[in-house]
Structure 1
């Protein structure tokens, strides 16, 4: 493990928790949204998290090999740097997608609502405010923990430089 891998891992965790907090904020803001552009009530969003692969760039893996990576043809592309948030050197967390949960909407009888059906029922999103608040607290604590890890890694690096 290299000296900056802990910073890479923590920064990927910060990015995922920030995206998770954004999804939760969107869920809370749309708790009473009965009509979206797609039609129907708002659908709860959540972030899908995966462990980042423990890989490095292709040329790094071939460093000790006899055959070095080289361009032998004009069509060969140069090695690209990984895109932020999609690939990490070492390990970490990926947030691949934001999924809309396919749950049944909450039905409330309100014949005077502009989005009421003929039977007087209004379809509301099935977003539980308490669940969202608990998820928000957990995500903010995880964000704080990643900041603490980053600060500890920076302190260790600074101490190592003083030696």
Structure 2
């Protein structure tokens, strides 16, 4: 595999991984008010051979669920409490921002490889 196609392959794998991460972050944000919802956390796997990154295993955050007091809620127990979610919106927004920046960096890498390839083709035509 030549350097240009390897650079494109690595950058596209990063784009795929970050878009998957954003999907999980958006699911967490959407379910922040869902009773009993556990936050999803993803990891990344790096291929030592190619340098490509992929979305690894998705795990559930083992943090305690928030206990919410609302005696009128249908899930409330005899004390008026029910289990909320363990999603912290500040953390999810920070994760989304980090994934967005990583996505943009991979996109910039794709653009740089494309520009270099175009410049090389212009040189070869002369």
Give the TM-score, by structure 1 length: 0.72
The alpha-carbon deviation at position 96 of structure 1 amounts to: 2.0
Structure 1 SS opposite 2:64: coil
Which residue matches 1:125?
A: 85
**Paired residues, what number?**
122
Higher-Rg member (1/2): 1
1-side partners of 2:78 and 2:44: how far apart? 41
Query: What value does the CA root-mean-square deviation take over the aligned residues?
Result: 1.1
Please point out which of 18, 43, 65 is paired with 1:105.
65
Aligned to 2:10: 9
How many angstroms does 1:95 deviate by?
A: 1.0
Match of 1:51 among 46, 64, 72: 46
Deviation at 1:53, TM superposition (A): 2.7
What stretches of structure 2 of length at least 5 have no aligned partner?
none
Match of residue 26 from structure 2: 25
Residues in 1 aligned to 2:62 and 2:77: alpha-carbon distance in whole angstroms: 21
Q: Tell me the residue number matched to 1:135.
A: 95
Match of 1:148 among 103, 108, 112: 108
Inter-partner Cα distance in structure 1 for 2:101 and 2:56: 21
Residue of structure 2 in register with 1:162 after alignment: 122
| Residue aligned with 2:27, SS | helix
Aligned mates of 2:42, 2:17 — CA distance in 1: 8
Greater helix share, structure number: 2
Higher relative contact order, structure no. (Cα contacts within 8 Å, ≥ 6 residues apart): 1
TM-score with structure 2 setting the length: 0.92
